[in-house]
Structure 1
Amino acid sequence: MKCFVIGPVELGSSERARWRQLQLSNPTLASPCFSWQFTLAAAAVRRDVRIAVLEDEGAVIGFFPHQQRMGAGEPIAGRMSDHHGVIAAPGTRWDWRELLKRARLSYWQFSHLPAWQQPPVPLVHAVSPGLDLSQGFEVWMKRKRENGNTMAKMPGRMRKLEREIGPLRLEVHSRERKDFETVVRLKRQQCRRTGQLDFFGMGWTLALVENIRDIDDEDFGGRLSTLHAGDRLVAAHFGMRTPQAWQWWFPVYDAEYAKYSPGSLLLLEVARVAADQGHGLLDLGRGEEAYKDRFSDCSMPVVEGFVSRPTAVTIARQCRKQLGVWLRTSPLAAPALPLLRQLKRLGA
């Protein structure tokens, strides 16, 4: 197997067609996060995006998109990525350390790698839950009801919201700027309220989502979905879709209407439309949120970890980790911990 690295601007029409062909050949790559458009959208706002091209006997057998900073590798879009890995047909094999060497990476850190791609290193195993809509929305709903799920309560909550607040209006693909700005505002508020990473507070992340919002290709596009009760936006979601899958990415709701479960109502209605449009999967992404357990009826195994080769960058990373453990556990370091935490927040 041969491997060479190209920049995003070198990904021509033939490479894009081959990328899409490989993605279509492998059901585990249905997520929009694996699409070439996602990689190019990230490349438009970051200068560290690279693509390793895998070849065998003169034929392209895979693409490995990644971000690279001084030999350290991470997935495209970093923590924004719900799926990442090598774009290749089922059964394709490669040596991860050799791939890192050819890509000029000392290590690559991952958190949502398809389990079939796992390297021979210590791993954390997890799943990416989703809704199996391949047989249609009503079949999915029937399965949930038969399992004693709370889906049966959703129509009543919808009627109550409409009766008490105003007529419901669903927009699956809103182009309204104010709706998009509301999603960003509510998501940032939610992150601050829950102590999570502020996804839209890093500059380039908002630009990335803006780029994806403007894409509406046949095989990839951004989707801003909203649910209004009267003239009030009670829930919204920004995600992405391919013909095969809809990626549930940034859901938000107005906390003032929490008792009506507006986020769940929106998810239910988006699932209905997604199934009608032929999407076989609504991928909720890895996470411990309770609603994912309520709605999901399928899952894809993913793994978290890092794969490396012996270089100075890798050794430096190991030293930093060991220092971090000492700082967190040694009584001698306790007085300095508040200052270190503040410095870490400022540098995030």
Structure 2
Amino acid sequence: MRTHLIKPHELDRQALARWRDLQARNDALASPYFSPEFTLAVAAVRDDVYVTLLEDDDRRIAGFFPFQRRWGAGSPAGGRLSDHHGVIAAPGTRWDWNQLLRGSGLGYWQFDHLAAYQRPPGQWAHSVSHAMDLAGGYAAWREAKVKARSETVLRVERKMRKLEREVGPLRFVANTDDLGVLQTVIRLKLDKCRRTGAIEYFEWPWTRELVARIQAIDEPGFGGRLSALYAGDTLIAAHFGMRSERVWHTWFSVYEPDWASWSPGNMLMLRMAEAAAASGHRVMDFGKGDEAYKLALGNGGLPLVEGCLTRASAATGLRAARKGTGKLLRASGMMQPLRSVVQMLGGGRVL
């Protein structure tokens, strides 16, 4: 397998078509993060984004590896904002990770949401991206949750009815172009990060630019999704995320603190799931993390691995060690088999 390093803007129409074709053929890559539009959007607001092409013996593109690079240190395209990453290739494609790093000009590559089936040789920490299986529609998902004696759905539905009686009708907008809603998402997300000590993503100018760019995209295979939930005339919860053809990925979900007792975030998630299923999405992906709503509403998941892959070189190994990124991570069992998401997305083979 040969490698060829380029900048994203060098991807021509034929290469982009090939990228989309490879993504469509691999159910494990259905997330919008694997779409070329996401990499191109990141590259438009950052100057350190690259794509390594994997080419077979006939010089045909067999895979794409998008990433960020600074002085030989690699991270996923989008950095900490990337909830899924890896090589975009058809099922069964094989590559040498050391060769890929060398061809990408990387001494090492840090990853924390790598599709588990792509894990390099060695031991890595495992996690899962929780998701709602909407392949049978929203009603089927709800029925399964009720049968499993999940109290969350029924409790949130009761609160929704009570809120309508006491405050006003609930109004949900699946995708709005209201910039005021987007600014509310940014404001409330920043407030929460400051309260909890989490990374303040929206303090980075490029993050705001990236979100604005993605919001403006609405192509058949990729688009931003800015959703809003109102009680009467009052905005009580909002969300910004992305969708591909089959997956709606949640990203930045917020609610007004004064309304917290009503569980507006869960109300919003239920309405989003209805909209996602109605528009043909088979999965609503919550991303990594064990937040209560993910565990309560999710019924499937995509296995991930995280760690740092270092090129087979003493020099780069020492450099990685100095930066504290070369530590070997202990493995734990996968929380959900990869098969669960593959079945949600259509039952195709991953490998």
TM-score, normalised via structure 2 length: 0.90
Task: Find out whether 1:42 has 2:45 as its counterpart.
Answer: no
- Secondary structure of residue in 2 paired with 1:188: helix
- Secondary structure of residue in 2 paired with 1:273: helix
- CA offset at residue 53 of structure 1? 0.3
Contact 1:121 1:306 in 2 (8 A): no
- CA offset at residue 161 of structure 1? 1.5
Amino acid at match of 1:189: D
- Rounded Cα–Cα distance in structure 2 between residues aligned with 1:154 and 1:205: 32
- Rounded Cα–Cα distance in structure 2 between residues aligned with 1:316 and 1:299: 35
- CA offset at residue 311 of structure 1? 5.5
Tell me the residue number matched to 1:232: 234
- Rounded Cα–Cα distance in structure 2 between residues aligned with 1:302 and 1:316: 26
Q: Give the alignment of 1:59-70 within 5 angstroms.
A: 59-70=60-71
Query: Which string of whole-angstrom CA distances, capped at 9 and with x for unpartnered residues, describes residues 89-134 of structure 1?
Result: 1111111111001111000000000111000133101111100101
- Rounded Cα–Cα distance in structure 2 between residues aligned with 1:317 and 1:104: 15
Query: Which string of whole-angstrom CA distances, capped at 9 and with x for unpartnered residues, describes residues 23-60 of structure 1?
Result: 11111111111110000000000000000000112221
- Secondary structure of residue in 2 paired with 1:144: helix
The answer to which structure has the higher helix fraction is 1
Contact 2:310 2:320 in 1 (8 A): no
Superposed CA RMSD: 1.3
Query: Which string of whole-angstrom CA distances, capped at 9 and with x for unpartnered residues, describes residues 127-173 of structure 1?
Result: 11100101111111111111111212222110112222222110001
Ranges in structure 1 where 5+ consecutive residues have no aligned partner: 325-348
Tell me the residue number matched to 2:96: 95
Tell me the residue number matched to 1:28: 28
Contact 2:138 2:273 in 1 (8 A): yes
- Secondary structure of residue in 1 paired with 2:323: helix
Contact 1:121 1:307 in 2 (8 A): no
- CA offset at residue 321 of structure 1? 2.4
- Rounded Cα–Cα distance in structure 1 between residues aligned with 2:77 and 2:32: 12
Contact 2:108 2:320 in 1 (8 A): no
- Rounded Cα–Cα distance in structure 1 between residues aligned with 2:94 and 2:283: 26
Q: How many residues align?
A: 323
- Rounded Cα–Cα distance in structure 1 between residues aligned with 2:315 and 2:228: 49
- CA offset at residue 319 of structure 1? 2.1
- Secondary structure of residue in 2 paired with 1:134: coil
Query: Which string of whole-angstrom CA distances, capped at 9 and with x for unpartnered residues, describes residues 253-287 of structure 1?
Result: 11111111000001001100110110000000001
Query: Which string of whole-angstrom CA distances, capped at 9 and with x for unpartnered residues, describes residues 55-101 of structure 1?
Result: 11222110000000000000011000010000011111111111001
Amino acid at match of 2:291: E
- Rounded Cα–Cα distance in structure 1 between residues aligned with 2:237 and 2:309: 39
- Rounded Cα–Cα distance in structure 2 between residues aligned with 1:267 and 1:158: 12
- Secondary structure of residue in 2 paired with 1:293: helix
Task: Find out whether 1:105 has 2:106 as its counterpart.
Answer: yes
Task: Find out whether 1:166 has 2:168 as its counterpart.
Answer: yes
Tell me the residue number matched to 1:116: 117
TM-score, normalised via structure 1 length: 0.91
- Rounded Cα–Cα distance in structure 2 between residues aligned with 1:168 and 1:40: 36
- CA offset at residue 196 of structure 1? 0.7
Question: Cα distance 1:320–1:73, how it changes in 2: closer, same or farther (>3 A)?
Answer: closer
- CA offset at residue 223 of structure 1? 0.5
Q: Give the alignment of 1:66-81 within 5 angstroms.
A: 66-81=67-82
- Rounded Cα–Cα distance in structure 2 between residues aligned with 1:178 and 1:274: 23
Contact 1:26 1:88 in 2 (8 A): yes
- CA offset at residue 174 of structure 1? 0.7
- Secondary structure of residue in 1 paired with 2:158: helix
Greater mean deviation of Cα atoms: 231-240 or 145-154: 145-154
